[in-house]
Amino acid sequence: MVHPGVVPMHKVNFDAKTEYDMIQNYKVLQEVFNKLRISKNIEVNKLVKGRPLDNLEFMQWLKRYCDSVNGGIMNENYNPVDRRSKGGKERNHRGSNKSSKSLQANRLSTANSADSGSLNSDLCIGPTIGKVGNTVTEEHYTEQIQQLSEKIADLKVSVDSTEKERDFYFSKLRDIEILCQRPELEHLPMTKAIRKILYAADAKDSSLPEANEIITRSPGMFLDEVE
């Protein structure tokens, strides 16, 4: 939609269900990115696995890119469903041209076969089986989409809760930091010990022993309270 005519839609397989077919589709997209000099590496190995967060992240990037090109204005004349069907027809048309000779040869070779009757009956039954199979497949994918949507909703709730908890504790630490910066307190050993913990750069090693050592080296800091 953003770059009309650049994407070879006839190469896109909208019925892709295997990782191989999906990879071929992403190759088409990567070729378009290279043609347009878009410096975005598509992590195909992650996307074809169908993990919600990986695909959501890529779709968010794609939305931001489209908005940056068209200013967030949608092209009302663009019909994605119609464009897909045209791309599918072009793909099917090219595929049928390549296989027409082999199909004709197969028809000629089987025309006088003794099993032609059973072959014709199989051809009649085939579409019916295909329709049933497609219905089962659609129901399966619909169920998967629903399950993934529920997982995404749960993850969003978990992320929101974690962010609120993070902000809560950060605000407490910020209040302590401001208090330690008061002129009448910043020279005290206790204040220095607290700041030692607050400004510790290494998250793996605890700075508590060093803070305790600062307090230990100042035995007279509690004399006023004892008196």
Model pLDDT for residues 69-96, shown as the tens digit of each residue: 888 777 777 788 887 776 555 555 555 4
pLDDT at residue 103, rounded to an integer: 47
- Fold: same for 9-78 and 141-217: no
CA angle 73, 74, 79 (to 5 degrees): 165
Q: Which CATH architecture has domain 141-217?
A: Up-down Bundle (1.20)
Separation of alpha carbons 52 and 152, rounded Å: 7
Between 101 and 8, name the one with better pLDDT.
8
Give CA 157 to chain center in angstroms: 18
Q: Is the pLDDT of residue 19 over 50?
A: yes
> With the C-alpha atoms ordered 119, 121, 124, 129, is the resulting torsion angle positive or negative?
negative
Residue 134: pLDDT band by 50, 70, 90 thresholds? Answer: low
Residue 203: pLDDT band by 50, 70, 90 thresholds? Answer: low
Show the DSSP H helices in 71-222 as ranges.
80-110, 116-180, 189-198, 208-216
Neighbours of 195 (CB within 10 A): 17
The model's pLDDT over 139-186, given as tens digits with 9 standing for 90+, comes to 878 888 888 888 898 888 888 888 888 888 888 888 888 888 888 888
Neighbours of 147 (CB within 10 A): 11
The model's pLDDT over 52-63, given as tens digits with 9 standing for 90+, comes to 888 898 999 888
Tokens of 202: 């290494």
Nearest to 152 by CA among 62, 64, 51: 51
Superfamily name with CATH number, domain 9-78: Calponin-like domain (1.10.418.10)
pTM (2 d.p.): 0.38
Chain length of the chain: 227
> Would you call 193 exposed, middle or buried from its count of C-beta atoms within 10 A (0-12, 13-18, 19+)?
buried
pLDDT at residue 53, rounded to an integer: 86
Looking at residues 185-193, what average pLDDT do you find?
86
Task: Give the residue extent of every domain in the chain.
Answer: 9-78, 141-217
pLDDT at residue 118, rounded to an integer: 47
pLDDT at residue 169, rounded to an integer: 85
